[in-house]
């Protein structure tokens, strides 16, 4: 997962969680990003910021 840090990825956000949204990249890497509950169920481009606790932390690019 560390190799994805700094990259831009397309993520399908499945659910709102922990004050943001969580989902998966096309290669099934788990991603969390700060976002609105309305982002759940959508596909967004994100910038991967860091790897932490078995998931990637990202920013949604809007």
d(CA 61, CA 44): 7
The one-character DSSP state at 33 is E
Total count of residues recorded for the chain? 62
The low-confidence residues of the chain, meaning pLDDT below 50, are none
| pTM for this predicted structure | 0.91
**CA distance readout (Å), 7 to 15, 21, 55:** 22, 19, 14
Q: Beta strand pairing status for 55-60 and 30-34? A: parallel
**Domain extent listing, the chain:** 2-60
Domain covering 2-60, topology: OB fold (Dihydrolipoamide Acetyltransferase, E2P) (2.40.50)
What's the pLDDT score for residue 25? Answer: 98
């Amino acid at each position: 997962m560390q190799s994805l840090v700094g990259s831009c990825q397309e993520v399908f956000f499945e659910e709102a969680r922990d004050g943001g949204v969580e989902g998966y990249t096309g290669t099934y890497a788990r991603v969390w990003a700060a976002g609105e509950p309305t982002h759940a169920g959508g596909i967004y481009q994100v910038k991967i910021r860091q790897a932490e606790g078995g998931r990637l932390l990202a920013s949604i690019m809007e």
